[in-house]
C-alpha cells in the first residue's frame, strides 16, 4: 500500500499540466486568478497519506485561492480522498464517530480522528439531504409492486440543551429533552408465509426521515416540510400509482391528517403493533406495572383487537370505568375509548387480513429502531438538529440502498463542474 501510494504520488507530482498558464478564471468570482507556484498538501487516501504538489492560483479580487487539480480529484476543500470520505460515511452511518474512527484504523489502516469523522460525515449527510430534495425520479411502472405500504412514525431523539431551550416537552417541569424525528417508510409484501400472511419483500424497504414539522397552516400553499418529504418518497416509489396502497401508522392525528391530504385514495390502517402497545399501556395504568392481572387484561384485549371485536374492548373499558375512582385512571380509560372510536375504521383487522394486507408494521416500528434508534439514541448521545438531520439523511440513504447512486451523481457533478 505504501509503495502504491508513493507510485501514485510520484505519478501525479510529475504531471504538471494542472498549471494551465499564468491566469485562470477564479472558481469563486470568475475574475482573473494568478498562478502562484506549486503548493504541497498531504491527503488521507485509502492507500495511506499522499503528499501532492499542485498548481495554486490566487484571485486578488476576492482573495480566494485554490488548486484546479483538487477539484478534478474530488478533494476540493478537504484533505480526505473520495474513497476515504465514502468509508467515513459508511462507518459514521453505522456507529458513533469515535467508533468509526477506530474502525477505519483497524479495517483500512486509515487514520482519521473522531472529530474529522464527525465533520466529514455531517458534510456528507448535508450533501445527501440536498441531493434527496433534488433527485425525485418517479418509479418506472414496471417496478411498482401491486400493493405498496407507506408507514409513518415518530421517535424522540435526545438533544443538546440549547436545542430544546424554551420548547415544551414531556419532562416533569414541562421542558423537553428530545425532538421528534419523523420517519416515512415504503415497502412491499408480495411474499406469503406458510399461513398465507403477507411477508415483507427483502430489499423493498426505503426510508426517509428528518427532524422537521408535519404541521401545515390552513393558509399554506405547500405542505409541511415533512409532508413534502413523504410526497417525494412516494413519488420515487410510485406509492400512489400502485393498484392497492395503504398508509400504516399509530393513532397520532398528524399521521392521518397528512395521509388524508396527500393520498386520499389510500387505505388507512392503524398498525396492530401500536394498537396493542396502546392497550398494554392502559393495562399498566390500571393495574400498575408489572402485574399478572394487567398482563391478562391486556392479552384478552389484544385477542379482541385481532378478532375485530372493538365493541368488546369498549365494554371492558366501560366496566373498568365504573369501578375506578382515581381521576388519572378514569381519564386514561376515556382517552382509550376515544382512540378506538376515532380509529375504528382503521382497525378492521379481520377484513384487512382477508384481503391479504399487512396490518402490523413490524417494518415501521423496526424502521424507527433501525433507521434512528440504533444510531441516534445511544447512551450519552446528545444532538444538534443540524447534526442529527445530516446523520439521519446519511443513514436513510445507506439503508435504502441509495448510497451508490448518490456517489455516481456526485462524481458526475465533479466532471461537469
Across 396-412, b (16+ Cβ under 10 Å) vs e yields bbbbbebbeebbeebee
CB closer to Zn ion out of 29 and 289: 29
Secondary structure of 383-415 as H, E, C letters? ECHHHHHHHHHHHHHHHCCCHHHHHHHHHHHHH
108 contributes a contact to Zn ion by CB under 5 A = no
Task: Find the part of the chain contacting Zn ion (CB under 5 A) among 30-38, 134-142, 213-221, 294-302.
Answer: 30-38
CB closer to Zn ion out of 32 and 373: 32
CB closer to Zn ion out of 28 and 330: 28
- Contact string (CB under 5 A) for Zn ion, positions 58-77, x = contact: -x-xx-x-------------
Helix, strand, coil % in the chain, rounded to nearest 5: 50, 20, 30
Task: Find the part of the chain contacting Zn ion (CB under 5 A) among 23-31, 36-44, 83-91, 175-183.
Answer: 23-31
Three-state DSSP state, 154: strand
Task: Find the part of the chain contacting Zn ion (CB under 5 A) among 24-32, 218-226, 328-336, 339-347.
Answer: 24-32
- Please provide residue 209's backbone torsions phi and psi, each rounded to the nearest 5 degrees: -155, 160
Task: Find the part of the chain contacting Zn ion (CB under 5 A) among 52-60, 123-131, 169-177, 347-355.
Answer: 52-60
Question: What is the DSSP secondary-structure string of 354-394?
Answer: HTT-----HHHHHHIIIIIIHHHS-TT--B-HHHHHHHHHH
24 contributes a contact to Zn ion by CB under 5 A = no
Task: Find the part of the chain contacting Zn ion (CB under 5 A) among 21-29, 50-58, 132-140, 164-172.
Answer: 21-29
Please name the helix (run of DSSP H) or strand (run of DSSP E) that holds residue 186, with its range, or none: strand 178-188
377 within 8 A of 158, measured Cβ to Cβ? yes
How big is the site for Zn ion, counted in residues (CB under 5 A)?
8
CB closer to Zn ion out of 31 and 338: 31
Q: Kindly state the smallest distance separating residue 29's Cβ from Zn ion, in Å.
A: 3
383 within 8 A of 158, measured Cβ to Cβ? yes
CB closer to Zn ion out of 59 and 150: 59
Q: Of these, 4, 7, 29, 36, which contacts Zn ion (CB under 5 A)?
A: 29
CB closer to Zn ion out of 26 and 310: 26
Spacing of C-alpha 264 from chain mean position: 25
Question: What is the DSSP secondary-structure string of 6-51?
Answer: HHHHHHHHH--TT--SSEEE-TTT-SEEEEEEEEEEEEEETTEEEE
In 3D, which of 269, 417, 257, 287 has the Cα closest to residue 343? 269
Q: Running DSSP on this structure, what letter comes out for residue 266?
A: S
56 - beta bridge partners?
Answer: none
CB closer to Zn ion out of 107 and 417: 417
What end-to-end distance do the CA atoms of the chain give, in Å? 31
Q: Kindly state the smallest distance separating residue 60's Cβ from Zn ion, in Å.
A: 8
319 contributes a contact to Zn ion by CB under 5 A = no
- Please provide residue 249's backbone torsions phi and psi, each rounded to the nearest 5 degrees: -165, 180
CB closer to Zn ion out of 64 and 299: 64
Q: Kindly state the smallest distance separating residue 178's Cβ from Zn ion, in Å.
A: 44
CB closer to Zn ion out of 32 and 308: 32
246 contributes a contact to Zn ion by CB under 5 A = no
Q: Kindly state the smallest distance separating residue 199's Cβ from Zn ion, in Å.
A: 58
Task: Find the part of the chain contacting Zn ion (CB under 5 A) among 26-34, 144-152, 202-210, 271-279.
Answer: 26-34
Q: Of these, 28, 160, 276, 329, which contacts Zn ion (CB under 5 A)?
A: 28
Q: Of these, 9, 18, 24, 26, which contacts Zn ion (CB under 5 A)?
A: 26
The x, y and z cell numbers of residue 357, run together, are: 394486507
Three-state DSSP state, 307: coil
Q: Kindly state the smallest distance separating residue 62's Cβ from Zn ion, in Å.
A: 3
322 to 294, 295, 313, 317, 319: CA distances (angstroms): 17, 20, 14, 9, 5
CB closer to Zn ion out of 30 and 105: 30
Binding site for Zn ion (CB under 5 A): 26, 28-29, 31, 59, 61-62, 64
Amino acid at each position: 500500500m505504501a509503495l502504491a501510494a508513493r507510485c501514485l504520488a510520484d505519478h501525479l507530482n510529475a504531471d504538471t499540466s494542472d498549471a494551465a498558464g499564468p491566469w485562470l478564471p477564479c472558481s469563486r468570482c470568475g475574475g482573473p486568478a494568478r498562478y502562484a507556484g506549486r503548493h504541497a498538501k498531504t491527503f488521507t487516501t485509502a492507500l495511506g497519506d499522499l503528499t501532492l504538489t499542485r498548481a495554486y492560483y490566487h484571485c486578488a479580487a476576492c482573495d480566494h485561492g485554490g488548486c484546479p487539480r483538487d477539484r478534478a480529484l474530488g478533494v476540493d476543500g478537504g484533505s480526505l480522498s473520495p474513497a476515504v470520505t465514502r468509508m467515513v460515511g459508511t462507518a459514521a452511518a453505522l456507529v458513533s464517530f469515535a467508533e468509526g474512527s477506530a474502525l477505519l484504523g483497524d479495517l483500512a489502516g486509515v487514520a482519521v480522528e473522531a472529530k474529522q469523522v464527525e465533520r466529514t460525515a455531517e458534510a456528507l449527510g448535508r450533501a445527501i439531504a440536498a441531493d434527496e430534495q433534488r433527485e425525485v425520479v418517479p418509479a418506472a411502472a414496471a417496478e411498482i409492486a401491486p400493493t405498496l405500504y407507506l408507514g409513518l412514525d415518530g421517535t424522540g431523539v435526545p438533544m443538546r440543551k440549547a436545542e430544546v431551550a424554551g420548547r415544551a416537552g414531556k419532562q416533569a417541569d414541562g421542558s423537553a429533552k428530545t425532538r421528534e424525528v419523523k420517519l416515512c417508510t415504503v415497502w412491499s409484501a408480495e411474499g406469503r408465509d406458510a399461513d398465507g400472511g403477507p411477508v415483507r419483500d427483502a430489499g423493498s424497504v426505503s426510508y426517509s426521515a428528518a427532524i422537521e414539522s408535519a404541521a401545515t397552516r390552513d393558509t399554506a400553499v405547500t405542505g409541511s416540510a415533512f409532508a413534502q418529504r413523504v410526497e417525494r418518497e412516494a413519488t420515487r416509489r410510485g406509492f400512489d400509482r400502485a393498484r392497492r396502497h395503504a398508509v400504516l401508522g399509530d393513532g397520532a392525528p398528524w399521521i392521518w391528517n397528512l395521509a388524508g391530504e396527500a393520498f386520499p385514495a389510500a387505505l388507512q390502517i392503524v398498525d396492530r403493533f401500536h394498537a396493542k402497545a396502546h392497550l398494554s399501556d392502559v393495562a399498566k395504568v390500571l393495574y400498575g406495572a408489572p402485574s399478572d392481572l394487567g398482563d391478562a387484561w391486556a392479552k384478552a384485549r389484544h385477542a379482541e383487537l385481532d378478532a375485530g371485536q372493538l365493541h368488546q374492548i369498549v365494554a371492558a373499558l366501560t366496566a373498568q370505568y365504573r369501578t375506578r375512582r382515581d381521576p388519572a385512571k378514569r381519564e386514561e380509560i376515556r382517552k382509550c375509548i376515544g382512540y378506538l372510536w376515532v380509529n375504528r375504521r382503521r382497525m378492521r383487522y379481520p377484513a384487512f387480513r382477508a384481503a391479504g394486507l399487512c396490518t402490523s408494521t413490524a417494518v415501521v416500528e423496526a424502521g424507527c429502531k433501525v433507521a434512528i434508534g440504533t444510531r441516534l439514541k445511544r447512551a450519552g448521545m446528545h444532538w444538534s438538529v443540524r447534526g442529527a438531520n445530516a446523520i439521519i439523511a446519511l443513514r436513510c440513504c445507506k439503508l435504502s440502498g441509495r448510497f451508490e447512486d448518490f456517489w455516481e451523481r456526485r462524481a458526475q457533478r465533479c466532471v461537469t463542474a
